[in-house]
Amino acid sequence: MKIISQNTAFGGMQGVFSHESDACKCEMTFAVFVPPQAIEEPRPVLWYLSGLTCTHANVMEKGEYRRLAAELGLIIVCPDVSPRGNDVPDELTNWQMGKGAGFYLDATEKPWAENYQMYTYITQELPKLISEQFRVDMARQGIFGHSMGGHGAMTIALKSPDRFKSCSAFAPIVEPSTADWSAPAYEKYLGADKAQWRQYDACALVADGARFPEFLIDQGKADGFLENGLRPWLFEEAVKGTDIALTLRMHERYDHSYYFISTFMDDHLRWHAERLG
């Protein structure tokens, strides 16, 4: 693991690191905020997954999480959203595919399958590295994210309910297999058999029996992607009749930006802290 930068903030440490990924077969960069309490004891870890076109840096620079994370004693891990590098396949004119658009799945189709193994990276490889290098309590993990990252957080939580104690999302893509900005990527990454897409689709996972105790979703009503890409009402409908508790908050005038995310970041951190103990 290489140290790219380390800065003191609110008594803790905001770091940026990189390492050679076996899953993605390239160098991957990630950010970690370590609160001051970690000097004395292992602390809960909260994974934040970013959205399309982002890197680890977007939430680190705009998310405004450090003050309250330091107060609550939460370690925040912010991975990149896709593999990177000159040898990694990409579609240069398509922001919804390739670099910056990994969708937190394991691709099965060429040429993507060689590098785009983000599900394995997020759920196996990076957690192992974090547990070895930082003072984290891996028995207390939560996960959240924005847009494509909200999709990733929800699907990963639904598939790993024994690992995560909490999950929330800002403006998630709840049914990516039918959304305009994700279905074409799913076909390229996973092939034409839509049955294979269901394992990376929150609504489909619930329909197929996956369960997680509760979700918090915040969504702006002025979000330009709301009608065609995000559609949180589909997840609201999916969990009806199940034992999944959903808190869906729709906010007037808020859009898809980090102005929206930073406004409700404290709410999400407190939500997770209550459940992580």
Cis bond upstream, residue 89 (ω within 30): no
Q: Which class would CATH give 2-276?
A: alpha beta
Q: Is residue 19 annotated as part of the catalytic site, yes or no?
A: no
> What are the pLDDT digits (tens) for 169-215?
999 999 999 999 899 999 999 999 999 999 999 999 999 999 999 99
Average of pLDDT values for 112-131?
Answer: 98
For the chain, list the strands marked E by DSSP: 2-9, 12-21, 26-34, 43-49, 75-79, 136-146, 164-170, 214-220, 245-251
Of 147, 168, 177, 182, the catalytic one is: 147
Residue 141 has pLDDT above 90, yes or no: yes
Residue 272 has pLDDT above 90, yes or no: yes
Q: Is residue 256 annotated as part of the catalytic site, yes or no?
A: yes
DSSP conformation class of 123 = I
pLDDT at position 181 is 87
Cis bond upstream, residue 161 (ω within 30): no
CA distance 131 to 127: 6
Tokens 């579609």 belong to residue: 91
Q: How many CB atoms lie within 10 A of CB 225?
A: 19
Q: Is the distance from CB of 159 to CB of 63 less than 8 angstroms?
A: no
Mean pLDDT computed over every residue of the chain: 98
> What are the pLDDT digits (tens) for 40-81?
999 999 999 999 999 999 999 999 999 999 999 999 999 999
Helix (H) or strand (E) run with residue 187 in it: helix 183-190
Share of the chain above pLDDT 70, in %: 100
Q: How many CB atoms lie within 10 A of CB 61?
A: 11
Of 82, 106, 223, 272, the catalytic one is: 223
Q: Is residue 147 annotated as part of the catalytic site, yes or no?
A: yes
Residue 14 has pLDDT above 90, yes or no: yes
Of 56, 151, 256, 268, the catalytic one is: 256
Residue 263 has pLDDT above 90, yes or no: yes
> What are the pLDDT digits (tens) for 144-171?
999 999 999 999 999 999 999 999 999 9
pLDDT at position 111 is 98
